[in-house]
Each structure stands twice: as C-alpha cells, then as structure tokens.
C-alpha cells in the first residue's frame, strides 16, 4: 500500500495524542515517527499537529488529512478482502428479500440459473414488504432486496432500477390478448381482479379506473399475487400486475401482459438494492449479476 507506513504513523499519533505512545504501539522509535511527520508537514507547507506540553493535537488541516487517511486505509482493507475472495470459488449463503410476486417469478428464475452454475452456494429467499426489505438490507440481514417503490435511503445503493408500471394480465387465449395495448374501458367488460385494500397496489389500480372515469366493481379481491395470476389464467378475468410479476408465466405462454393504452397507472418503480459502503461477498455479487440479467431478460418479454 502506497505510503501506508506514514499514514499509520499519523493515524496512531492522532488516536493516542502522543508520538511516544504511537511508537510503543507500533514498535517504532518515536524519533523515526517524528521525523516522518516533520517531513510530511514540510511537503504540505503547514503543520498537521499542534505540539503541546502534554501531547499532540490535530490542527484543522490535520483533521482533514486524518479523515482522508482513515477513508483510504478502510478502502484498502476492503479492496484486499475483495481481491482475496477472487482466489476462491463463491461459497456460503446469499439472502435475497423480495416482494411476494417477484419471489415466485423473477427471483425463482434467477435462483435456479445461479444454482446450476454455483451449487456450493446456498440461496435463501425471503418475502418482505418494501419497508421490511429496507431494514433487512440496511442491517445486512439480507444481501439484496428486490421490490417496488422501496423508500430512498442513504444506507442502500441501487444496482438496477426500472419503472415497471402495472398492466393488464390475462390468459394467453383471452380475447384481449390479441391487442398490443388495452383500453381501460375494455378491461371493465370482464371480471376484474383487484389487490386487497390493505395493499399499496390496490390504490394504484382503483385510482387508475377513477381517473379513467370508470365506475367498476371487481369480482375478486386478494392479498395473494399467486391467486391473482391463477384467477387470470383460469378464465376471462383481468388482473393488474407488472410484467416482472409474471415473468415465468409469460415466458411459458400461460399468461400475457398488455400495457394499458393512455395509461393512468401511476409510476411503479422496481429496484434491486444492496447495502451501501459494505464489503459484499463474491457470492452475493455474482447473484446480483444473475438477478440483473434476469431482470433485463424480463424487460424484453
């Protein structure tokens, strides 16, 4: 590591407030540490420590420098950890938290593909709400989170993101499946499947019909994404989901996703997130790549 010895000297003197104490901890002569610090101050053109009768205290310039030093040393440790992980095969466990419809579709597809290549890695898939997911990823209870409208947080970084607006989901043989996009008023001619009123999705769907000037009474309410898909595939009912919720069914030809023409559905952002400023395992990085590939594939359905 470039200049690591000098950075360690400055860091330890700042922490202990004494060149003598820093020398004892590092097993280095205090005179050698003092000489290096004086040379550094000469290069910078200003002192980084105030030399007091009872020890050393950082100057304002020294505070700035020590912050930089500690960030650099931490980044170096993380880089070494990452490089060492590349020497071995991925192993351990990857935990992904996802919303219910995504767990049984896009996440399951990615997990099966990943396991075929890396059978030594255990994959744990947990169903959570957006807020539960935020907490789980921020506290490292989960390595990755996949969900709609996850609240913004400085603790999370976004790996992948799309606006995945809801559309009409119908059986492949449904009369509406022949259309490239479906007017809202045509949906109202068939039994409608709404998300339960306890779900955020319910408001998005109900508001869309109100904004279209349509007064409808859904035939079905449910909290289960799986039930929504089953109701749509079993007859003429129309459900309202994103294409990512039905990725597997759409790929196999059991269900069709059609956008709503002149859509009044509000934005529905799908995000893959992980913890910010964290050393991620090789397995979790590779699984994130697999998830992004599956999501991009879902984009093209």
Per-residue pLDDT reduced to its tens digit, 147-174: 998 888 888 999 999 998 999 999 999 9
Mean pLDDT of 89-94: 76
- Residue 97 pairs in a beta bridge with 126, 145
Domain boundaries, the chain: 4-85, 92-164+269-299, 167-258
In CATH, what number does 167-258 get? Answer: 3.40.190.10
> In CATH, what is the architecture of 92-164+269-299?
3-Layer(aba) Sandwich (3.40)
For residue 134, give the nearest of 150, 117, 154, 123 by alpha carbon: 150
Q: Dihedral, CA atoms, 263, 264, 266, 267, nearest 10 degrees?
A: 20
Same CATH fold assignment for domains 92-164+269-299 and 167-258: yes
| Sign of the four-CA dihedral 148, 154, 155, 159 | positive
Picking from 17-31, 167-181, 262-276, which range would have the lowest pLDDT averaged per residue? 262-276
Q: What is the pTM of this model?
A: 0.63
Per-residue pLDDT, averaged over 133-156, amounts to 90
Provide the CATH topology of domain 4-85.
Arc Repressor Mutant, subunit A (1.10.10)
By CB atoms closer than 10 A (0-12, 13-18, 19+), residue 2 is exposed
The stretch 190-212 carries a mean pLDDT of 91
Closest Cα to residue 177, out of 97, 92, 246, 95?
246
Q: What is the pLDDT of residue 2?
A: 43
- Report pLDDT digits (tens) over 258-275: 999 876 788 889 999 999
């Amino acid at each position: 590591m470039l200049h690591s010895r000098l950075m360690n000297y400055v860091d330890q003197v700042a922490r202990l407030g004494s060149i003598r104490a820093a020398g004892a901890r590092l097993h280095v002569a205090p005179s050698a540490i003092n000489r290096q610090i004086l040379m550094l101050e000469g290069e910078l053109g200003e002192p980084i420590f105030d030399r007091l009768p009872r020890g050393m205290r950082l100057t304002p310039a020294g505070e700035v420098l020590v912050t930089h030093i500690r960030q650099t040393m931490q980044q170096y440790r993380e880089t070494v950890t990452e490089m060492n992980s590349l020497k071995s095969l991925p192993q351990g466990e990857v935990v992904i938290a996802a919303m219910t419809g995504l767990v049984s579709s896009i996440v399951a597809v990615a997990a099966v593909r990943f396991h075929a290549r890396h059978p030594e890695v255990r994959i744990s898939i947990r169903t959570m709400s957006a807020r539960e997911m935020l907490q789980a990823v921020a506290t490292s209870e989960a390595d990755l989170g996949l969900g709609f409208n996850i609240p913004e947080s400085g603790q999370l970084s976004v790996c992948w993101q799309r606006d995945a607006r809801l559309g009409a989901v119908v059986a492949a043989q449904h009369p509406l499946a022949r259309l490239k996009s479906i007017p809202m008023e045509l949906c109202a001619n068939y039994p409608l499947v709404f998300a339960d009123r306890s779900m955020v999705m319910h408001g998005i769907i109900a508001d869309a019909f109100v904004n279209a000037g349509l007064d409808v009474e859904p035939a079905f309410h449910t909290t289960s994404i799986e039930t929504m898909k089953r109701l749509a595939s079993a007859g003429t009912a129309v459900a309202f989901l994103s294409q990512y919720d039905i990725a597997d069914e759409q790929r196999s030809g059991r269900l069709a996703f059609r956008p709503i023409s002149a859509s009044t559905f509000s934005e529905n952002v799908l995000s893959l997130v992980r913890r910010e400023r964290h050393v991620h395992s090789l397995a979790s990085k590779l699984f994130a790549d697999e998830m992004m590939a599956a999501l991009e594939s879902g984009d093209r359905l």
